[in-house]
Homo-oligomer: A and B are copies of this chain.
Amino acid sequence: MDKMNLTMLTDFYELTMANGYFQNGLKDKQAYFDMFFRKVPDNGGFAIMAGVEQLIEYLKNLKFEDKDIEYLRSKALFGEEFLQYLNNFKFSCDVWAIPEGTPIFPNEPVVTVRGPVIEAQFVETMILLTINHQSLIATKANRIVRAAQGRDVMEFGSRRAQGYDGAIYGARAAYIGGCVGTACTIAEKEFDIPTIGTMAHSWIQMFQTELEAFRAYARTYPGNCTFLVDTYNVLKSGIPNAIKVFNEEIVPRGFRPKGIRIDSGDITYLSKEARKMLDKAGFHDCSIVASNSLDEYIIRDILMQGAQVDLFGVGERLITSKSEPVFGGVYKLAAVEENGEIIPKIKLSENVGKITNPGFKQAWRLFDKESGEAIADVLTVNNETIDESKPYELFDPEYTWKRKTVTNFTAKRLLVRIFDKGTCVYESPKLREIKSYCKAQTDTLWDEIKRFENPHKYYVDLSRPLWEMKERLLQEYSVK
């Protein structure tokens, strides 16, 4: 997509700090930053990683234009040498990320950046913005799709999205999370996400009667005919008229009706009655589409009550993740280098849960070799290896007496290199592959982790060397 240069989409403090590092001789000091999050939205058991492809685009296109430099000069805050440096800025960091579609858990690094502090710090805002947004929507979509229990879910929310990118990349993330498609046309054009759409209430109102409106639509789209049936009265008018037009205009042309859509009223009751009426008329294959302020909770409830819905169109509550519209990813300094040595850094907090995991790390996922199920994630110091051939002891980093020895497992590194000294070394999979990968990886999680309320907590443990490093830093700081 031709897009504006987003280099200047950054919190201003990234620039004041950059100039400060520059002035204080820290320009080339190597730093390690991690993006991670602390809590799954909606109190869920896991989130879905998304946005890496857009993050890569951003990092590839980082460039300060002349007018950016002029603007910055006008602030009268920055040195000329620094502005010159920005003018010649070239991103030179190493970047690792967990691939899109992967289930991710609190407190594990999902993006790690290593490089000159001035660069590694600068990209904070856009890393967070990109990954926070798409992971939020992919996570929400995944919940909604799981609630639909195999029925299709379409993303219908563009008009209520928070801005244009909210709609476009929201549709992308929703597809990764499991939606079968979107109503957002540009998302099909740009990302090849299947798009459908039929009619609004205004279509019906443009004709003298609902029957005329259906007839006109059927003649235009005989092979692709879904009627919106709730403009006047679903059961007394919409469905009878739909059946009449199916019989008069669709079947004689050698087609089968595609569906009816209910956008108001009690979906459970109306869909059950509609199903009976359609079946009685011989249209067992006619789908029932429901839309109207749906989310995972309503879908779960109406399905429990026997609603006869084949496809859910989910709008504002998906595209804004309405029940929890913030994915709280943060970006924290994890280490610096001094004379070539990695010096881990920790950020303390009175809230124990907010203390960061120090050092240059790798995140591993252990899978049961037999069942393929995910057992736990383990954060290690980056140069550690988990040896699959030996039993591996997991222990709770807080309650260290809680231990478990794992055998017969495979261990997979989660963070993969996406930039090597500023050069992209990763090719994003096709979106359909990311979506399939997401489904396959979500299937490796225990059902207990997938509960909407009070899910089982998946383990994200620390290796012994990492745990010891953290303990040592805690001791050091508490002495201070």
Contact = CB atoms under 8 A, between A and B. Distances in A.
A328 B345 contact: no
A332 interface: yes
Nearest to A196: B12
A440 to B, nearest CB: 27
Given A160-B327, A165-B163, A195-B12, A77 B221 contact: yes
A264 to B, nearest CB: 7
A297 interface: no
A21 interface: yes
Interface in A458-479: none
A348 interface: yes
Give the bracket for the number of chain A residues in contact with chain B. Answer: 35 or more
B333 A16 contact: no
A121 interface: yes
Interface stretch (A104-112, A127-135, A274-282, A418-426): A127-135
A166 B165 contact: yes
B9 A167 contact: yes
A169 interface: yes
A52 to B, nearest CB: 15
A217 B163 contact: no
Interface stretch (A24-32, A361-369, A381-389): A24-32
Given A9-B186, A17-B200, A159 B322 contact: no
Contacts of A125: 158-159
A29 B206 contact: yes
Interface string A274-313: 0000000000000000000000000000000000000000
Interface in A176-211: 183-186, 188-189, 195-203, 205-206
B333 A13 contact: no
A355 interface: no
Contact of A132 (B77, B159, B201, B203): B159
A235 to B, nearest CB: 13
Contact of A326 (B156, B264, B322): B322
A2 B348 CA distance: 43
Given A77-B224, A328-B160, A199 B13 contact: yes
